[in-house]
Chain A
Amino acid sequence: MTKVFFKNKPAVAGALIILVMALFALSAPLSGYQPDEVDIGSYLLAPNAQHIMGTDLLGRDLFSRMAYGARISLLVGIVSVGISVAIGIFFGAIAGYYGGKIDMLIMRFVDIMLCFPSIFLILALVALFEPGIMIIMAVIGVTGWMGISRLVRAEILSLKEREFVLAARACGVSNARIITRHLIPNAAGPVLVSATLGVAAAILVESSLSFLGIGVQPPTPSWGNILMDAKASLGAAWWLTLFPGVAIFITVLGYNLLGEGLRDILLPRK
C-alpha cells in the first residue's frame, strides 16, 4: 500500500504540501511576534529581516498572522468535514441498510438539502448566530454531508446481500453491529477520498466567508480576513494580498491533489 502511495505523484505532492502547511501552522510562535500585537509605528512594512512577510495596516507581523491563520484554516477544514462525514455516514448507512420507506425518506431529504444553494444556507445560518469559528465549522459541516451519505448508501446497497453479511446475520449479529463493523469499514475508501476533497472545499468556504466579514472574526487571524484587510490597502501593500491568497491556493491544491491521488489508488476504475 505504501509503495503504491509513493508511486502516485499527485498524492505524494498533495501530502507534502499538507505537511509543509501543518509545519507552518506549528511554527507560529517562531515569528517572535503575537498575531494581534499592534505596532502603529511599523505599519505596512514590506517584507524585511524583522518581519519576513512584512506588516499590515496596524503594524502586526504578517508571518505570525499567516501562521496562526493556517491553524484556523486547517482546524475549520478538518473539523467541519469530520461533522459532515459523521452525519453522512449515519444517514447513508441507515438508508442503505434498511432500504424501503426509511431509504426513500432519507434520500428525499438529501435531494431537498441539495436544492438550497449552500452559500445561502450557510450565510443564513451564520446570520442567526454570532459568526465565529465554532459556528462556521458547525454550519459548513451541517450543510455538506449529502454527497457522503449518497456514497455510503451506494456502497452498503451493493454489499448488504453479500455472503459475509448473510453469514453475520445468520450468526445472530445485531443490525447495528453489522452496519458499524462489517459494512461501514468497506465504504472507507470512497469516504476518505470525498472527505479529503471536502477539506479543500471547506477551507475555500471558510476563507470566502472570512473575506466577506461573516466568518472568523478579527482580531483572530484567518487567511480570509487578512485578505479582507488587504482589500483596503490594495496596491499599496502587495504582500498583504499575495501571501494569504497563495496560502489558500496552495493548501486547497494540496488537499485536491491528495484526494485525486487517493481516488486513483483506492478506487481504481473498473
Chain B
Amino acid sequence: MLTYFLRRLFMLIPLLIGISLISFLVIHLAPGKPTDVQLQLNQKVSLQVRERLEKLYGLDEPLPVQYAKWLSRLVRLDFGNSFIDNRPVMTMISERIPVTLTINLFSLLLILLIAVPIGVFSAVHEDTFFDRAMTVFVFIGFAMPTFWLALLLMKFFGVTLHCLPVSGIRSISFEYYSGWEKFIDYLRHLLLPVIISAFTGLAGLSRYMRTSMINVLHQDYIRTAKAKGLPQRRIYFRHAMSNALLPVITLLGLSVPGLIGGSVIAESIFAIPGMGKLFYDAVMSRDYPVIMGVLVIGTLLTLVGNLAADLAYSFADPRIRTGEQSG
C-alpha cells in the first residue's frame, strides 16, 4: 500500500513538469512580445499591460531563464499581483476556494446519492419501464445546456415562486441572523448552484453505474450466489454493488476537472464569489496574473482529485491493497 502510494506520487513529477511547460506556453501566447502584430489591433491590451507582463514574467530575457523564473514562481505558488486591484493573486484565490470546494463537494455527494441507486435499480430491472425512463432522463441530462437550466430554475424558484435566492451567497440581512439562521441562509443560496453543477454528472454517473452493475450481474459468482439461494437483496447490495462501485471511484476522479470547470458557469450565473467567478471576471478584464493563477491551481486541484480517487480505489480494491497485480 505504501509503495503503491509512493509510486503514484512519483508518477506525478512528469505531470507537474508538463503542466508547468504548457502553462508557460500559454503565457507566451499572451500579447507582450515586441514583434506581436496583433497588439496594434488589440486595444484592450494597452502598452502599460504589456510592460507589466514583461516585468512580471521577464519576457525580455532568454527563454530558459524565463522558464526557470516561471517554475520557481510555481513552486512558491507566487503568481504576482492582480492587474486590477494589485492584490496578490494567491490571496485572492485562497479566499475564493472554500465556496467552490463546498459547492463541488455537495454536488459530488448529490450525484452519488441519486445516481448510484438509479443505476443499480435500472440494472437490476433491466429493460423495464423504469430503466427506459431513466435512459431518456440520461439523454436529457447530456443534452441540457446547464446555463439554460440555471436560467429556468432562477425564473421558476426565484421569480415565479419567489422562494429561493438567485444570486450571491448571503442575504442582505445576513449580519442580523443567528448562527443557525446564517447556516440555513447559506444552504438556501447554495441549493440551485449545487443542483446545476451536479446535473450533467448525475446523468453520466447513473448511466455508468448501470453499465457497471449489469456487467457484474452477468458474472459467474453472482449466478453461484443465486444458485445457492442467497436472498436477492444480499446478492444485489452486498455481492454485486460493492464490485460495481469500484470503477465508479475512478470515474469520480475523472469528473473533477469537469466539476471545477463547470463552476465557472454556475458561479457566474448565480454570482457566487468562488474561484470560477474569479476566473470569469479575470478573463473579462484580461487580468493575466489571475488567469494564470486560477488555471494552474484548478489543474493542481484536478491532480489532487485524481490522486485521491486512485488511492480510494486502491484502498477499496483488495487486489491492489494487498500488493498483488490486479487481473
Contacts and interface: CB of A to CB of B under 8 A. Distances in A.
Interface of A: 108-109, 111-121, 123-130, 200, 204, 207-208, 211-214, 224, 227, 230-231, 234-235, 241, 244-245, 248-250, 252-253, 256-257
7 contacts: A108-B15, A116-B19, A123-B280, A207-B145, A241-B151, A252-B143, A256-B139
Contacts of B292: 124
B145 A252 contact: yes
A257 B139 CA distance: 8
A252 B146 CA distance: 12
Interface residues of B, number: 50
A234 B151 contact: yes
Interface in B132-167: 139-140, 142-148, 151-152, 154-155, 159
B26 interface: yes
A116 B15 contact: no
B22 interface: yes
A119 B26 CA distance: 14
Contacts of B42: 130
Nearest to B44: A130
Given A234-B151, A234-B154, A234-B159, A116 B295 contact: yes
A252 B145 CA distance: 9
Interface string B152-191: 1011000100000000000000000000000000000000
B264 to A, nearest CB: 5
B259 to A, nearest CB: 8
Q: Secondary structure at chain A's binding surface: helix, strand, loop or mixed?
A: helix
A114 to B, nearest CB: 7
Nearest to A203: B145
Contacts of B295: 116, 120-121, 124
A14 B264 CA distance: 30
A2 B139 CA distance: 24
Interface stretch (B1-9, B90-98, B283-291): B283-291
A234 B155 contact: yes
A101 to B, nearest CB: 13
Contacts of A249: 143-145, 148
A248 B14 CA distance: 39
A119 B262 contact: yes
Secondary structure of the B contact surface, majority rule: helix
A141 to B, nearest CB: 15
B145 A123 contact: no
B308 interface: no
Contacts of A248: 145, 148
Contacts of B140: 253
Given A115-B306, A117-B302, A118-B261, 15 more contacts: A111-B15, A112-B19, A112-B22, A118-B257, A128-B29, A128-B30, A212-B268, A227-B151, A230-B151, A231-B151, A234-B154, A235-B159, A241-B148, A245-B151, A249-B145
A204 B18 contact: no
**Listed residue (B31, B283, B294) with the most chain A CB atoms within 10 angstroms of its CB:** B283
A227 B143 CA distance: 16
Contacts of A208: 145-147, 265
A126 B298 CA distance: 17
Contacts of B22: 112-113, 116
Contact of B143 (A213, A214, A253): A253
A252 B38 contact: no
B299 interface: yes
B195 interface: no
B70 interface: no
> Which of A120, A125, A250 has the most B CB atoms < 10 Å from its CB?
A120
B142 A214 contact: no
A124 B151 contact: no
Given A111-B15, A127-B291, A119 B265 contact: yes
Given A116-B302, A118-B261, A234-B154, A200 B26 contact: no
A120 B296 CA distance: 9
Contacts of A214: 283-284
B18 A117 contact: no
Contact of B155 (A128, A200, A235, A256): A235
Given A121-B295, A245-B151, A114 B257 contact: yes
B279 interface: yes
A252 B141 CA distance: 11
Nearest to A241: B151
Given A111-B15, A112-B18, A116-B299, A227 B147 contact: yes
B258 interface: yes
Given A115-B257, A116-B295, A207-B145, A124 B283 contact: yes
A44 B268 CA distance: 26
Nearest to B148: A245
Contact of A108 (B14, B144, B154, B268): B14
Given A214-B284, A234-B154, A123 B265 contact: no
Contacts of A200: 142-143
B19 A117 contact: no
A178 B208 CA distance: 36
A124 B143 contact: no
Contact of A245 (B152, B286, B298, B306): B152
